Each structure stands twice: as C-alpha cells, then as structure tokens.
Amino acid sequence: MKPMNPQRKSPNPKTRRNRQIVGILLLAAILLFFGLVVFRFFYITVSGQIDGVNLADRTRRKYTQETVLKAKRGTIYASNGDVIAEDSNVYTIFAVVDRKYVSIDDKPLYVQDKAKTAQVLSQYLSLSAAQIKKILSPKSKKAFQVEFGNAGKNIDLATKNQIDKQKLTGIYFRAQPARLYPNGTFASHIIGIAQLKDAKDTAKDSNAQLTGVMGIEKYFNRQLTGVNGRQQIQTDANGYELPMSKIVTKKAKDGDNMTLTIDARLQNNLETLMQNVQDKYKPVGLNAVLMNAKTGSILAASQRPTFDAATMQGLGNVWRDTLVEDAYEPGSVMKVISMAATVDSGHYNPNATYQSGAVTLDGSTVRDWNYSGWGTIPFSQVMPRSSNVGMVHLEELMGAATWKKYLERFHMGQKTGITLPGEVSGMYQFSRAIDQANTAFGQGINVTAMQMMQAFSAIANGGKMVQPQIVSKIKNPLTGKTTTYQPKVVGRPISAATAANVLDQMRQVVNNKQIGTGTAYQLPGVDLAVKTGTAQIANPKGGGYLTGDSNYIFSVVGMAPASDPQYILYITMQQPQKMTAPAETILSSIFKPLMTRVLSYGQTSSGATTKQVTMPNVTNHSTAEAKEALANAGLTPVLVGSGTEVVQQLPKANSRVLAGQRAVLLTDGAALMPSVTGWSKNDILKLAQITGIQVNFTGTGYAVAQSIPANSVITTNSRVSVTLQPR
C-alpha cells in the first residue's frame, strides 16, 4: 500500500496580504534610505557644507598655519621729541612643578631645587623665600604649574633678564603687551594710560591689544590703536610647511604717532616744584597750567594727587583729570574777566569812587576780604586791592544783561573742546541780583581750569581768545600723512584796547607795594601781570561755605611779559592741610621758578634756547636730590640705573651748559638702557661715555629707533644701534 502524500496547506489570504505589505514597506524604506544618502551627497557636493561647517574652509584651516602680525600702538612724544609713551612688554612669571614635564632626552623641565629657587626669586619678587617655597609646593599632586599672584605680574624686561641669568629650571615667563611710560610722574592724568581691557585678556587671546582708559590714550584710542596683520602658509597633515607653498601676508598697520605741545623740560620742572609743595603743605588738591598765550599750546600741566604712570603707584588716589573734569568757584581771579567786561562795555571810570567794606543786595551782605574795607576809594583800586564790593558796584553799573552777554562771549558755561576726555562745562547762577553780583568776583559760578586758561588768553592776546591745545600733530607711520593742529581763535570777547587796560591793572597787583595783593610774585627785571584769588568752598554737608583759615582755593594767574604776554601760568591750591606759610608764599614757590625758566628759554617755535647755566655737582647725592637740583638749574635729568644714588654724571660739575640740556646720571645698581627716542647724537654719545656701551649710528638728526629696548640691562660689552632722522 502506497503512502499517502499529505496535501500542502495554502497560506491564509490575510497572511499573504500582510507579507506583501511588509515587503512593500521594507522596499520603500530601503529606497528612501538610499534616496536620502544620494540627496545628502548631492547637497554636500553642491553646498560644500556639513552641519553648517564649510568643508573647504575647514580643510584650508587644517592645512593652513596662520600667524598674527601684531600692530604697534602709536608712540606719544613731547614737543622736543622725548618719548612720553611707547609700546613694550611686561611679563608674568610661573613655575612648572609637574615632575613628568621633561625634555625629549629626559632632562627635567620642572622646578627641582625648590629651596634654591625660592631663595633666588625672593631677590626679585616682593615675596619672602618661605612664601615662594610654599607656592612651589602645592597641596594638589596633580598641579602642573603655579603662579605668584600680583608679585609675579608686570615684571619688566630688566628684571626678567636678571632672573633668566640665574638659569632656574622650571621657571618660565609669559609676555603680554604693555605701555611704557619712561618719565614716571609726568602729566599723568593728561597722558593717561593704556592697558588690557580685562586682566584675563592675554590668557584668552595672546593677541589682545591695549586700550586707552584715561587721558590722551583714551581720547585718541582709535588713532593710536593699530590693526593686526596676518601671515598664512600651507602645511601638511603634520603641520610642516609645504615646499613651494604660497605665503599670504597682510601687513600690520601700526597706530598713529602723536606729538604733544608739552615741553618735557618744563613739565619735569613743574612736577618737581609741585611735588615739593605737596610734600610740605599737603593740599587736598593742586593744579597748574602753563600755556603759550598766542597759540593756546599747553607747555606744562599737572595736578596733585597724581600717580606714577611707570609703576601705577598712586593711581587709586584720584582717577579724574581735575584740569577738565572738576568745576569749582574760581574766586577773585574771575575779576580779570569781570573787569574786562566793565571796561569793554564802557562802564569803567577809574577815578569814580565807592564806599568799600560791605554792600547789601537782596538781603545778603557782600564784604571785602578784610571785612572793614579801605574807606572811600577809586575804582582804579578794585583790581590791586581785590575788592569784592568794588566788583559788585561795577557789575551793577554794567547791568545783569550786559554782564551775562560777556560771560557768554568768554564761553563760561561751555566746554573748551580741548582734546581730553571727560571735560565738563561748568555753570553759573543768574536768577537773582545777588547771584549776578557774586559771579563778578568768582562766587556762584563754577569753572574748569581749562575754561579759565581760554578766557585769560583773550586778555593776553589783544582780545583774541584761543582754544587750549594739548596735541601738536598726529602722523601715520605707514603713509607719512601728518595732521597738524593749528592755533584756533574761538572768539573776540573784548577789544585790544580793553585787553591792554586790564593788563595795566594787573601790573598794579604785583608792582604796587602799598595796595597790591600779588607782590610776592615779583620777578626781578620781569614785566608781570598778576591776579590773585581766594575762593570759598561750598559746604558739602549743607548750605553756605566752609570756615577756617585753610578751607579755601588759593590761586594766582600770571602773564608775562605784560607788554606783550607770551605765557600764561595759572595755579590753584585747595585746602593745604599744613599751612605753615602764607598762601602766596606757597604758590610763589611754583610760580616764580617756572615762569623764570620759561622766560629764560625765550622759547621759539622750535623750542630752542641760548641761555647757559652751571651744571651742579650731584655725584654721591640721592637720585631725588639730583633730579631736584637739575630741575632748578634748568636741566633735564636722565637716570641710567636702578639704584638710588648718583655715582657719575655728565656734563661734569661746574661746567657751563645750555639750559634744557640733558644731564646723564649713572646710579648704583644695574645700568638700564633708557629710551633715546628724540635724543641728539651728542646726548647719546654722553650716554655711551658714562656707561661704556658701544653705539653705531645710522643716518643723521635725532634718534627714532634703538636696537636695545628701553629698561634692558646694559654693560660695557653692550652694543646698540641707533637710527637717526632729521626732524
């Protein structure tokens, strides 16, 4: 019997349908996947991007090495060519403590002898050996490197070189851009400072640039700041340059160089004189401005408190440039302006008389400074006696409308437009009769020192009022294009005859020994015009004014020679804390030497002088004493060295030299290369003679470049190349 073949069971129709659907879906998925892949490749081919990343750019970057060509911030010069501010580097010291950090041939690159390293570094950093050793021994065993806080930052090149000579294993430096201010305390708030925006800028970006944050550095930051360049080379996958690769270079554009109107010799002299007053009498504030009356050029200007721009010591005392940012009541020096208005408006009769002592307006009494007055006196004595009551009567004769018109003509309540940041406009009260009268003798009106200088220029300049200027020229180092700042007449508030009349009255202030309030400012053989001032200070805790012998702003303005003023010198002193001498004695200790010096220059447009002086003997004296002696002699000191005592000098003691000449002083300690930019060949030869360095000159004229950076340590074996160019 044959076995029966079992019949194959047919699939269920529903199952068959499900299988077909699954197959169709699977096929569709496969087709969709491949379609997306094809689309993706097509998209990449057409767009050249993946996830927003440009493949061509990424490849180019991968095989291109780019180097930033750093731009140099523009150099700031004094009018005689001396460097005031220039680019430099400072350094942060750090130590590698990870014992795994070794060279290819297994030489240690970390700190091995911590005790020795600490002992050596303690000689250069403001930390003890014990403190340094503790820093070199961090608790974390995973620490790779350590730093030394503020003590290890802002190290200059000279100190870095000294530490490098010690050959300490594991000690390294990180450079960062910095601004070098070789003159230290030198019109510091006017020049200002440039620094990195953030203390972490260099860590984030080694190419971070300096930014001006005060003074000229801030106002002209755009012009001074350069534009970094780029250099690109093609490399292989390992970063090596490809043969025959094209080097693409975009040159850096250095910032513009600036020349200021400041005369370095006069400025250094002023700084010394002001510091003497600051140290001896401790005023809360002290300002001084010396200006060319004809051009408005600021020849010297400073303030106290101030700071040393080289070390930043004292920067926290006051951030403001008080010459333009502080408004104050000027006191009796304002009588120069109100008298000019009275004369010019035709209301001045010198022979008419008035009762001095006191006058009442709006229920308020105005008194003369001596309270009792001088009886009935002529108006010709208002200026020499500095009579408040007389000025009130003259303001009444003019009338408020006329007086206000002259205040506007003299630009009171308006900014001068000087190229310094933060200038304020000041203000004056004029609603009541007493307010109007008060402004005539410098009360109830707020001004800045630069506003007063601008107004004074009309008196000194035959009625023409010139704008104060601090910048002489700006030069593009790439194109040579130079922008020169010309004198700017901003108004003619009075006639030449009025200006001459007021100058004659100011002569009486200094020359009339019977009634003049400014006889302390007399200079033998000099025709001076002077006005003194003593301004009350508003009580910050309420109405009225402060009381007490020293709670005033004492001031003096002088113009010389009075027959045709070339210079205006204005000094203010606020609240001397040790007033051991009369105010005029204190102020004259600045006024007389500085005015004598500028007049002795007979300064021409080139700043030339022919006066000879005797070189003082400053050898074996402290550097502070030497600087003061040279400044008083009319010479410009140049310190070469890191010590505090002078061991050698050129020119030699008692020799006859030209006023304003550089005197090179070698101190004890390591000799440091100064910045010689702007120096004559003769000055540089003096430096070579006193230090023993060898100098090679290129060109003729004055120094514009040097091969050894400023503040570098130099020895008798040092060779420096100096490039000279005509001015």
- Asked if 323 and 289 count as a contact pair (C-beta separation under 8 A), the reply is yes
Task: Read off the CATH number of the domain in which 719 is found.
Answer: 3.30.10.20
Q: Which residue has the tokens 């006017």?
A: 190
For residue 301, the number of C-alpha atoms closer than 13 Å in the C-beta half-sphere is 29
Domain co-membership, 526 together with 485: yes
Low-confidence ranges of the chain (pLDDT < 70): 1-11, 40, 43-44, 46-66, 198-207, 235-245, 602-611, 727
Q: Which residue has the tokens 């000025």?
A: 391
In a domain, 222, yes or no: no
Cα–Cα distance measured from residue 479 to residue 434, given in angstroms and rounded to the nearest whole number: 59
pLDDT of residue 327: 97
pLDDT of residue 238: 59
Task: Read off the CATH number of the domain in which 357 is found.
Answer: 3.40.710.10
Domain co-membership, 48 together with 86: no
The partner residues of 466 in beta bridges, in order of sequence, read 489
Of 570, 601, 632, the last residue of a domain is: 601
Mark whether 332 is an active-site residue.
Answer: yes
Main-chain dihedrals φ then ψ at residue 678, nearest 5 degrees = 90, -10
Q: Is 670 helix (H, G, I), strand (E, B) or coil?
A: coil
pLDDT of residue 605: 34
In a domain, 548, yes or no: yes
Domain co-membership, 551 together with 618: no
Main-chain dihedrals φ then ψ at residue 217, nearest 5 degrees = -55, -35
pTM for the model: 0.76
Q: Indicate the number of domains in the chain.
A: 4
In a domain, 10, yes or no: no
Task: Read off the CATH number of the domain in which 131 is found.
Answer: 3.30.70.2110
Taking alpha carbons only, the member of 492, 517, 494 closest to residue 506 is: 517
In a domain, 12, yes or no: no
pLDDT of residue 441: 96
pLDDT of residue 63: 59
Domain co-membership, 422 together with 491: yes
Q: Which residue has the tokens 């007399």?
A: 522
Domain co-membership, 363 together with 491: yes
Domain co-membership, 95 together with 180: yes
Residues present in the chain in total: 727
In a domain, 148, yes or no: yes
Domain co-membership, 420 together with 296: yes
In a domain, 633, yes or no: yes
Domain co-membership, 177 together with 94: yes
For residue 75, the number of C-alpha atoms closer than 13 Å in the C-beta half-sphere is 17
In a domain, 32, yes or no: yes
Q: Which residue has the tokens 């061509």?
A: 56
Domain co-membership, 663 together with 713: yes
- Asked if 650 and 689 count as a contact pair (C-beta separation under 8 A), the reply is yes
Task: Compute the Cα dihedral for 25, 26, 31, 33 and give only its sign.
Answer: positive
Q: What is the pLDDT of residues 293-346, one digit of tens each?
A: 999 999 999 999 999 998 888 998 889 999 999 999 999 999 999 999 999 999
Give residue 466's domain range: 264-601
In a domain, 221, yes or no: no
Domain co-membership, 568 together with 679: no
Of 547, 577, 601, the last residue of a domain is: 601
Q: Which residue has the tokens 């002077």?
A: 530
Domain co-membership, 238 together with 302: no
Q: Is 260 helix (H, G, I), strand (E, B) or coil?
A: strand
pLDDT of residue 683: 85
Catalytic residue among 188, 302, 332, 712: 332
Domain co-membership, 150 together with 136: yes
